[in-house]
Amino acid sequence: MKKALGQKRPETVDKATQALKKRIKTAEEVLAKVRQLAVKVKAEPAIARTLTDLNLTQACREVVDKDADAVLDEVESAIYLVAVSILKGEGFSYDIPSRAKGNQLYVPELDRIVLKDTMSQRPFASTATCRKAVITTRILQLVHELCAKRIHVTKRDLFYTDVKLFEDQGNSDSVLDDVACMLGCTRSSLHVVASEKGVVVGRLTFSEDGDAINCQKMGVGGKAIPPNVDKVSNIVSDAMFILLVEKDAAFMRLAEDRFYNTYPCIIMTAKGQPDVASRLFLKKLKETLRIPVLALVDSDPYGLKILSVYMKGSMNMSYDSSNLTTPDIKWLGVRPSDLDRFNIPEQCRLPMTDEDMKTGRKLLEEDFIKANPEWVKELEIMTHSKVKAEIQALSSFGFQYLSQVYLPLKLQEGDWI
């Protein structure tokens, strides 16, 4: 009796979805436009433009990745200079690059925020800076220990090594950024890392601290993105593109459907607001493999904010922007214009809040948005319609609509901006 009922297990796919599905050609044909983009990306100059290319070195400063030995040398030089100054009778003081907003500069040629060259003195023999000079010395010593031992810790660990001196984690965090600027190297070069949050699956193999990792054999859960990207090497991939996904629900759908088997790609997500580890990992993938990055985010101002963090960094890490940012990410979806194009039902569209509207209008004034007229157009559609939608809104056409209809169709049409 139960069996008889069980025989008919129909798939409920409505006619419109069926029609769209019919338009999807073979994987090879779907990928034709992506292949063109990939060729273009590969042909771009390998070395990104730097401050030096722009003859701006005098006026601006950025930090670079340095290995542990180079950082040890930098720390020792800094301390040596202080010692010489003391012996000369000129006192104990550090020269620290200013990270204040007034010392930040947006360089359109680089599409990044960098630091101008204002320096500030931090003498020990001043009541205003005495404590900060001591904290700076202590942080230099701790960084020296980390690099000598070749171990990585979090900012929180660093704070706890001398709570009596630091008093508040804000103090050790901010001096850590000062020290990175002073030594001219990235915060991750100092062996202080952010906690990891991201995951990755797909056509990618790499070595992590000596272990061979194959991201095509990582089940549906994927590989956790390592907190210290400098332990990642031997990146090899036959992927045609990187699919950057905002949320883990969409990531899970694509991983379970093994989307990367049909459409060779690397799928990664930072589960919302991207952390430093995920940004470094994406940058490393992009620079090594030189393949396009296509982004799948919610159709709301927050989705664009996330793209902006990947593409141009956050304000308080601007001295490190060249090492953290991946420019030239293509916005694949979900775009405001997709809502009508794919007939997303009214019930799945959410009204934008006042906060959303404010963020949206602010984004319209940002340089990195204005630089791309098609992004402006989409953002205007959003702010005019006052409607937003999540990636999951696509589930209204069936759970696998995202992996079987929406994404193949977008790729086939080369519908990214």
Active site residues: 160
Please, what is the minimum distance in Å from the beta carbon of residue 131 to a second copy?
15
Of 180, 181, 197, 198, nearest in space to 189 by CA:
180
CA pair distance 374, 253, nearest whole angstrom: 29
Token duo for residue 102? 């007034």
Please, what is the minimum distance in Å from the beta carbon of residue 349 to a second copy?
9
Residue 102 vs 210, nearer CB to a second copy: 210
Residue carrying structure tokens 């720390």: 75
Residue 100 vs 151, nearer CB to a second copy: 151
Of 37, 12, 46, 16, nearest in space to 294 by CA:
37
DSSP annotation of 88 reads T
Residue 258 vs 362, nearer CB to a second copy: 258
Please, what is the minimum distance in Å from the beta carbon of residue 224 to a second copy?
4
CA distances from 294 to 104, 306, 402 (A): 29, 13, 15
Of 339, 342, 352, nearest in space to 302 by CA:
352
Please, what is the minimum distance in Å from the beta carbon of residue 101 to a second copy?
30
Please, what is the minimum distance in Å from the beta carbon of residue 184 to a second copy?
15
CA pair distance 78, 97, nearest whole angstrom: 14
Please, what is the minimum distance in Å from the beta carbon of residue 300 to a second copy?
15
CA distances from 12 to 2, 22, 71, 249, 416 (A): 21, 16, 60, 22, 29
SS (H, E, C) 141-155: HHHHHHHHHCCCEEH
Helix (H) or strand (E) holding 94: strand 93-97
Residue 75 vs 363, nearer CB to a second copy: 75
Would you tell me how many other CB atoms lie within 10 Å of the CB of residue 377? 14
Residue 117 vs 196, nearer CB to a second copy: 196
Please, what is the minimum distance in Å from the beta carbon of residue 179 to a second copy?
17
CA pair distance 101, 115, nearest whole angstrom: 9
Is residue 192 left, alpha or beta, with left meaning phi > 0 and alpha meaning psi from -120 to 50?
A: beta
The gap from C-alpha 338 to its chain's centroid, in whole angstroms, comes to 24
Residue 359: is it exposed, middle or buried by C-beta count within 10 angstroms (0-12/13-18/19+)? Answer: middle
Q: Beta partners for 242?
A: 266, 293
DSSP annotation of 92 reads -
Residue 73 vs 117, nearer CB to a second copy: 73
CA pair distance 183, 95, nearest whole angstrom: 10
Q: Is 157 labelled a binding residue? A: no
Would you tell me how many other CB atoms lie within 10 Å of the CB of residue 345? 11
CA pair distance 248, 270, nearest whole angstrom: 8
Q: Is 246 labelled a binding residue? A: yes
Residue 211 vs 354, nearer CB to a second copy: 211
**Binding site for Mg(2+): what residues are annotated?**
246, 298
